[in-house]
Amino acid sequence: MADEAFKGQQSIVATGIRSALCAPLWVTSAEDGEDAVIGLVYVDTRDVTRSFDEDDLRILTALANVAAAEVDLAIRYGKGDWPHVQATRLMAEVI
């Protein structure tokens, strides 16, 4: 996966980023069924031996979907300190 539009960007070149992925945090409103993006998950690497691929994007998207559901619950119910929220954070840190 390569996007030539970003290849020469100064911020990319200056930081040495070799590959990057981003996935939206999508939620669907229970009230009106409208989709909304409430954030995003961004990862990058400076590793010259490996670029992210479609499998990485699928994994990141799956994690973003779980995170979006957790964030949505925390926002709606005001509870951001649930054990499974902490487990999701740890899982994201490992990846």
DSSP notation for 44-63: EE--TT----HHHHHHHHHH
CA–CA separation, 30 and 51 (whole Å):
38
**What pLDDT, in 10s, does the model give residues 37-87?**
989 999 999 998 999 999 999 999 999 999 998 888 877 776 555 556 666
CA–CA separation, 89 and 95 (whole Å):
10
pLDDT of residue 57: 96
Residues 50, 54, 94, 46, CA torsion sign: positive
